[in-house]
Each structure stands twice: as C-alpha cells, then as structure tokens.
Amino acid sequence: MPDTAPQQFTPDWALHPGVYLRRMLEERGIRQAELAERTGLTAKHINQIVNQSIGVSADVALLLDRALGTDPGFWTRAEADYQARASREKAQQELPELIQWARTFDKVTLRRYGIIAAGDDKGTQVEKILRFFGVASPDAFDRTWIQPRVSFRRSQSFTVNEPNTALWLRLVDRSAEHVTVPPLRPAALRKVARTIPAMTNHTIPHGFAVARSALAEAGVILTFVREAPSTRVSGVTWWQGPERPVIGLTERYRKPDIFWFNLLHEIAHVLLHPRRSTFLDLELEKGVSDGAEREAHDFAENTLLPEEARARIAEAATREDLLRLATRFGVGVSVVAGRYGRATDKWGLVSSLRGTISDDDICELERISNAGKPEDDSDSDSLAC
C-alpha cells in the first residue's frame, strides 16, 4: 500500500519577524507605543523590529510571548528561519566569486587526493575545498595559508602558484596528522643524518622507507607528496607543534641524488633553525644567499659527501672511476654522478648513472607515506597512480 502520509513542507522563503509583528498589531488594533508599555521595551525598539531593522532576540521573544499570547518559540523560530534564509541568499550571491577562487587550485590534484569528486557540482567543490583547508572563506584562506604560515626563498627568475603551493602544504600536513612519533631528539636526529648517505644505495622507495622509520625514532615525521603544478617545490620543513617537525618531499627533477640532498637539507632546517618556522624550498639556484638556506645547503653537502670525496669525484676521468668512488665512499652511484656533473658540467658522462625517479616510485612513496586518498573515503572517482 503506498505511503500516503503527508510530507513535511519546507518553504524556500522566510519573513522577518517584524512582518508578523506588524500584522499582529494591526489585526488587534494595538499601537506600537502600547506594546512598548506592555513589554517594557522602548518604542524605538518596537519600531526597529517592525521596520525590520533589527531581529528578535530570545529575551525579546519571551516578552512578546507574554504580551501577545503567542505560542512559545514562535518568534525565535521566525527569527531563525529568517536568518537561515538570509544566509542562504548571501551564500548564493557570493557563489560566483567562490567558484572563481576554487578554480585557482589544480583540479587533477584535488581529485587525486579525494578532496573533490568528478561528479561534484561547483558549490559542492567550494565547500569541500574550504573544509579541506579548515577555513570559512577565501579571505580566511589567505590569512591562514598564504600570509603568515610560509617563509620561503623567492626567486627573481620564476613565479610560484600560491594556491597550489598551499594545497601541497596542506596535503603534507594531512599526511602527517595521524602519525605517532616521540618528541624531537636533536642528538638522535644528528645520528640519523649521518646514516643517510648509506641509504642512498637502496632504491628510492626502499631508502625512503628506511629513512622514514629512522627519523620517526628521532621524533621527525617524513612524508612524500608529489609536486603540484607550478609550485617548483622540492621540500618543506613544517612544524605541527614545538616538538613535532614534519619533513615533506617531492620528486622535483626526478633525480635520486637531488632527492637525498633535499632530505638532508630539510633535516638541517630542523636542527639548525628556529622552531615553528616553515622553510619551503623551491627551485634550486646557483647562488644561495639566504643565511638559513646556505647553512642547510652546506650541511646537506658535507653530510652526503665529505670534502675529500667531493675533490676525488671532480678528478675522475671515467665512469669506472666514479663507480669505484661510489663503492669507496659507501654512497649510491647516483650521488657520485650528480656531484661529478655539478663539479665539471660534463653531464654526458654520468647521465645514465644518475638514474630517474619513476612514476611507479612516486606511487610507492605516497603509499609508504599514506599521503593519498583517505582510506575511509568512499569516493571512487579519485585518480589512481
């Protein structure tokens, strides 16, 4: 038998409580001044309600209930309905601007990580992006994610897509949120840093997994999120608390030697520079003039290969020499090849030795970091590796 129960009617309109009050006073022949006397409110206050200049608070609603014998809660419901309707109308008016703001983010990245789905309408996409960043408006997004949170080296030779940079940072932040590590132990972190060169002998995913585990014991969260378009990000040092540093890496340049250098560069920021400072490292530049960046650069260079090793590598004459030096100094051949290329600018000799971070490597790095789509997200439209 079909369900014939009446459906609850939800109107898409709402009147200001002042409209109801005006009608009620006219029907009962009550002057505004008389109602003011009955309620103890001023005549001005009653007039402002009738003219829809102000709303009806809970206290005033109680006074109107007593004076006019209306149902309890009538005025508060009318006020709530009116305010909800006004909010919806305001949101509808602002929607085109919000949609334009949402378009500044790379849609492929948003879908890849389950932030939006292929079937979402424009309004839903806006709401999901705002919730992802934990803000209520584009202005709040700028204040929270663009203006105060990031101190990073800017180059004169390129521009950075700030919305996508913030998107990448938030993905790094999210991937670290539920990772449990002890408070930072700088002495232990220095010991881990000295073991990084040996890790370069592994494949990128295997070496990353070893580094992630070792850094976690020292109180540092290591994660990987692939580079977002037009960000030029290679890594970041991000603090989720005074004793909770996060290092995020990308596949920038897709070269293993650069990947390991960037990891040591971020470790240096954790060890050497003020906590709570975000260091977002962008395109590599030949002249690093910023003091903090120079310190991090020198730390990474000296830890990865001591000065003697760098000198011997620069003097190598053949590929076989470089392979023997990699064995002697206990580092991956990609590290030696990259150092040789930068020292001599003879990249042709070492191009095949440097290796490449493949698409499969990137997927595996994100799997290890659990930086992809949240497991409890039922949306099946997220882009797979």
Give the whole-angstrom CA distance, residue 369 versus residue 367. Answer: 5
11 lies in some domain: no
5 lies in some domain: no
Query: Three-state SS for 224?
Result: strand
**Residue 5 pLDDT more than 80?**
no
The verdict on 240 and 164 lying in the same domain is yes
pLDDT of residue 4: 41
Give the whole-angstrom CA distance, residue 21 versus residue 12. Answer: 21
Neighbours of 209 (CB within 10 A): 19
94 lies in some domain: no
pLDDT of residue 382: 59
Q: For residue 50, give the amino acid letter.
A: V
9 lies in some domain: no
The answer for residues whose C-beta is within 8 angstroms of residue 100's C-beta and 6 or more apart is: none
pLDDT of residue 57: 93
Query: Three-state SS for 242?
Result: coil
121 lies in some domain: yes
C-alpha angle with apex 145: 144 to 150, nearest 5 degrees? 115
Cα separation values, 368 from 11, 248, 364, 383, Å? 50, 13, 6, 18
pLDDT of residue 287: 47
Tokens for 258? 């650069």
**Residue 285 pLDDT more than 80?**
no
**Residue 156 pLDDT more than 50?**
no
Give the whole-angstrom CA distance, residue 254 versus residue 362. Answer: 9
Supply the Cα-derived Rg of the chain in whole angstroms: 31
More reliable by pLDDT, 159 or 304: 304
More reliable by pLDDT, 281 or 239: 239
The verdict on 123 and 233 lying in the same domain is no
**Residue 148 pLDDT more than 70?**
no
pLDDT of residue 385: 75
257 lies in some domain: yes
The verdict on 132 and 22 lying in the same domain is no
Q: What is the pLDDT of residues 25-47, one digit of tens each?
A: 999 999 999 999 999 999 999 99
What is the pLDDT confidence band of residue 256, given thresholds at 50, 70 and 90?
very high
Q: How many domains is the chain partitioned into structurally?
A: 3
The verdict on 186 and 201 lying in the same domain is yes
The verdict on 159 and 139 lying in the same domain is no
Could you tell me the sign of the dihedral formed by the alpha carbons of 159, 164, 369, 353, in that order? negative
pLDDT of residue 371: 60
pLDDT of residue 89: 80
pLDDT of residue 151: 47
The verdict on 193 and 291 lying in the same domain is yes
Give the whole-angstrom CA distance, residue 182 versus residue 219. Answer: 5
**DSSP letter for each residue of 92-157:** HHHHHHHHHHHTTS-HHHHHHTTSS-TT--HHHHHHHHHHHHT-SSHHHHIIIIISSS-EE---SS
More reliable by pLDDT, 236 or 384: 236
The verdict on 76 and 110 lying in the same domain is no
pLDDT of residue 10: 44
More reliable by pLDDT, 91 or 279: 279
pTM of the complete model: 0.80
Q: 133 is in which domain, residue-wise?
A: 99-145
185 lies in some domain: yes
Query: Cα(first)–Cα(last) distance of the chain, in Å?
Result: 50
pLDDT of residue 114: 95
Give the whole-angstrom CA distance, residue 154 versus residue 20. Answer: 59
Q: What is the mean pLDDT of the chain?
A: 88
Start-end of H helices in the chain: 17-28, 32-39, 43-50, 58-68, 74-102, 107-112, 122-133, 138-141, 162-176, 186-199, 204-217, 256-272, 291-304, 307-314, 319-329, 333-344, 351-354, 359-369
| Beta pairing partners, 222 | 247
What is the pLDDT averaged over residues 276-304? 80
**Residue 193 pLDDT more than 50?**
yes
pLDDT of residue 9: 37
